[in-house]
Structure 1
Amino acid sequence: MTQYHFVGIKGTGMSALAQILHDMKHDVQGSDVEKVFFTQQALEERKIKILPFQKENIKEGQTIIAGNAFSDDHEELIAARELGLPIYRYHHFLGDFMKKFTSIGVAGSHGKTSTTGLLAHVLECAKPTSFLIGDGTGKGVKDSDFFVYEACEYRRHFLAYEPSYCIMTNIDFDHPDYFKDIDDVFDAFQQMAMQVKKGIIAYGDDPYLQKLHAQVPILFYGLEDDNDVQGKNIRRGEEGTTFDVYIRNSFFHTFTIQGYGTHNVLNALSVIALCHYEHIPVEAIKDGLYTFQGVKRRFSEKPVGAQVVIDDYAHHPTEIKATIEAAKYKYSGRPVVAIFQPHTFTRTKTFLDEFAESLKQADAVYLCDIFGSARENAGALTIYDLQKKIPNAEVITEEGIDILKKYDAGVLLFMGAGDIQKFQKAYEKALA
Structure 2
Amino acid sequence: MTTYHFIGIKGTGMSSLAQILHDSGEKVQGSDVEKRFFTQDALEAKNIEIMPFTRNNIKEGLTIIAGNAFGEDHEEIQEAKAQGLPFYRYHDFLGEWIGKYTSIAVTGAHGKTSTTGLLAHVLTENYPTSYLIGDGTGRGHEESKYFAFEACEYRRHFLSYEPDYAIMTNIDFDHPDYFTSIEDVFQAFQQMAKQVKKGIIACGDDEHLQHIQANVPVLYYGLADTNDFQAQNIQESAEGTTFDVFVRNNYYDTFTIPQFGNHTVLNALSVIALCHYEDMQPEQIKKLATFSGVKRRFQEKQWNRQVLVDDYAHHPIEINATIESARKKYGERPVVAIFQPHTFTRTKTFLNEFADSLKEADHVFLCDIFGSARENEGKLSITDLQELIPGAKTLQLDETQQLKEYEDGVLLFMGAGDIQKFQEAYEQETK
How would you bin the TM-score normalised by the shorter chain? Answer: over 0.9
Q: Secondary structure at the match of 2:302?
A: strand
CA displacement at 1:304 relative to structure 2 = 0.3
2:308 counterpart of 1:277: no
Q: Which residue is 2:171 aligned to?
A: 171
Q: Which residue is 2:44 aligned to?
A: 44
1:95-138 per-position Cα deviation (integer Å, ceiling 9, x unaligned): 00000000000000000000000000001111111000111110
2:308 counterpart of 1:309: yes
Q: Which residue is 2:98 aligned to?
A: 98
CA displacement at 1:143 relative to structure 2 = 1.3
CA displacement at 1:75 relative to structure 2 = 1.8
CA displacement at 1:398 relative to structure 2 = 1.1
Q: Which residue is 1:357 aligned to?
A: 356
Q: Secondary structure at the match of 1:408?
A: coil
Whole-angstrom CA distance in 2 between matches of 1:302 and 1:373? 31
CA displacement at 1:2 relative to structure 2 = 2.6
Q: Secondary structure at the match of 1:125?
A: helix
Q: Secondary structure at the match of 1:405?
A: helix
2:153 counterpart of 1:153: yes
- Indicate how the Cα distance of structure 1 residues 150 and 363 shifts in structure 2: closer, same or farther if over 3 A, else same: same
- Indicate how the Cα distance of structure 1 residues 374 and 399 shifts in structure 2: closer, same or farther if over 3 A, else same: closer
Q: Secondary structure at the match of 1:225?
A: coil
Whole-angstrom CA distance in 1 between matches of 2:152 and 2:374? 19
Q: Percent identity?
A: 68
Whole-angstrom CA distance in 1 between matches of 2:373 and 2:34? 18
Whole-angstrom CA distance in 1 between matches of 2:49 and 2:373? 28
Q: Which residue is 2:380 aligned to?
A: 381
Q: Secondary structure at the match of 2:348?
A: helix
After superposition, the CA RMSD in angstroms is 0.9
2:228 counterpart of 1:228: yes
- Indicate how the Cα distance of structure 1 residues 373 and 198 shifts in structure 2: closer, same or farther if over 3 A, else same: farther
Whole-angstrom CA distance in 2 between matches of 1:95 and 1:231? 33
Whole-angstrom CA distance in 1 between matches of 2:240 and 2:184? 37
CA displacement at 1:73 relative to structure 2 = 2.8
- Runs of 4 or more, structure 1, over 3 Å off, are none
Determine if contact 1:9/1:32 at 8 Å carries over to the other structure.
Answer: yes
1:319-363 per-position Cα deviation (integer Å, ceiling 9, x unaligned): 000100110000001001000000011111111111011000101
Q: Secondary structure at the match of 1:192?
A: helix
Aligned residue identity for 2:257:
I
CA displacement at 1:81 relative to structure 2 = 2.5
Q: Which residue is 1:73 aligned to?
A: 73
1:39-97 per-position Cα deviation (integer Å, ceiling 9, x unaligned): 11111111100001111111111111111122223221222223321011111100000
Q: Which residue is 1:257 aligned to?
A: 257
Q: Secondary structure at the match of 1:419?
A: coil
Where does 1:7-406 land on structure 2 (aligned, <5 Å)? Answer: 7-286=7-286, 288-373=287-372, 376-406=375-405
Q: Secondary structure at the match of 2:418?
A: coil
- Indicate how the Cα distance of structure 1 residues 128 and 196 shifts in structure 2: closer, same or farther if over 3 A, else same: same
Determine if contact 1:204/1:227 at 8 Å carries over to the other structure.
Answer: yes
Whole-angstrom CA distance in 2 between matches of 1:292 and 1:110? 19
Whole-angstrom CA distance in 1 between matches of 2:181 and 2:36? 35
Whole-angstrom CA distance in 2 between matches of 1:209 and 1:102? 23
- Indicate how the Cα distance of structure 1 residues 369 and 210 shifts in structure 2: closer, same or farther if over 3 A, else same: same
Aligned residue identity for 1:216:
V
Q: Secondary structure at the match of 2:126?
A: coil
- Indicate how the Cα distance of structure 1 residues 194 and 375 shifts in structure 2: closer, same or farther if over 3 A, else same: farther
CA displacement at 1:289 relative to structure 2 = 0.6
Q: Secondary structure at the match of 2:325?
A: helix
CA displacement at 1:249 relative to structure 2 = 0.7
- Indicate how the Cα distance of structure 1 residues 346 and 101 shifts in structure 2: closer, same or farther if over 3 A, else same: same
Unaligned runs of 5+ residues in structure 2 are: none
Determine if contact 1:116/1:150 at 8 Å carries over to the other structure.
Answer: yes
Q: Secondary structure at the match of 2:175?
A: coil
Worse-superposed segment, 211-220 or 82-91:
82-91
Aligned residue identity for 2:420:
Q
Aligned residue identity for 1:386:
L
CA displacement at 1:377 relative to structure 2 = 2.6
Whole-angstrom CA distance in 2 between matches of 1:326 and 1:133? 21
Determine if contact 1:372/1:378 at 8 Å carries over to the other structure.
Answer: no
Worse-superposed segment, 11-20 or 80-89:
80-89
Q: Secondary structure at the match of 1:390?
A: coil
Q: Scaled by the length of structure 2, what TM-score is found?
A: 0.99
Determine if contact 1:302/1:308 at 8 Å carries over to the other structure.
Answer: yes
Determine if contact 1:126/1:280 at 8 Å carries over to the other structure.
Answer: no
CA displacement at 1:379 relative to structure 2 = 2.1
Q: Secondary structure at the match of 1:241?
A: strand
CA displacement at 1:307 relative to structure 2 = 0.4
Aligned residue identity for 1:319:
E
Q: Secondary structure at the match of 2:65?
A: strand
CA displacement at 1:310 relative to structure 2 = 0.3
Q: Secondary structure at the match of 2:84?
A: coil
- Indicate how the Cα distance of structure 1 residues 146 and 375 shifts in structure 2: closer, same or farther if over 3 A, else same: farther
Whole-angstrom CA distance in 2 between matches of 1:332 and 1:204? 29
Aligned residue identity for 1:317:
P
Whole-angstrom CA distance in 1 between matches of 2:397 and 2:326? 24
CA displacement at 1:378 relative to structure 2 = 4.5
Determine if contact 1:339/1:414 at 8 Å carries over to the other structure.
Answer: yes
Whole-angstrom CA distance in 1 between matches of 2:337 and 2:76? 43
Unaligned runs of 5+ residues in structure 1 are: none
